[in-house]
Amino acid sequence: MFCSGCGQALQPGQTACPQCGRPVAPVMPPIPPIPNLELQLQTYAGRVRALSIVWFVYGGLSLLLGFAGMTFLHAFLNSGFGPWSHGSMGDGPWSQPWFGAAIIHFAWALILVRSALAFVAGWGLMERTEWGRIVAIIAGILSLLKVPIGTALGIWTLVTLLGYRNSTLYNELGPRA
């Protein structure tokens, strides 16, 4: 051991440097042992299970709120309230009957794809498959723009599933029997 100020060699147990008088830094306690791998796996398995359940809930909420929103959109575009009622927009694209139907079909497709992706991610994580991890990461990235719940779920998914340590733990879990 050497003095951090002048570089003088120090004997074990000295509290100050005999040459410059600088106090010797306290000895660092040893690093605690790494927790048992089995305990880490149990903890990580619990996190993955909780994440999969939240993906199922998110998929259900997306489907339910999407259905409610689509009901409102259908009423808004087809039953005559708002600026699109009774051809009040003139000859523009909003006045065409096919335009409202195209918007509704496109929105339904987005809602169904987002909900299906959430359900597949939840199921894949529940079964602890490698494809489930990949689908959940993709769903997490796509849901980042769905503020605030999708953003929180996307961040939680990415933090839980990405990284070398988490990837190793996920692979150690293996598929559920």
Burial classification of residue 132, based on how many CB atoms lie within 10 Å of its CB (0-12 exposed, 13-18 middle, 19 or more buried): buried
* Phi, psi angle pair for 2, to nearest 5°: -130, 155
Per-residue pLDDT of the chain (177 residues; tens, 9 = 90+): 788 788 888 888 888 888 888 888 777 777 666 568 888 889 999 999 999 999 999 999 999 999 998 888 777 766 655 555 544 445 555 556 666 677 788 888 999 999 999 999 999 999 999 999 999 999 999 999 988 999 999 999 999 999 988 999 999 988 876
What are the sequence ranges of the domains in the chain?
A: 37-173
Cis-peptide, bond into residue 12, ω within 30° of zero = no
How much is the pTM? 0.69
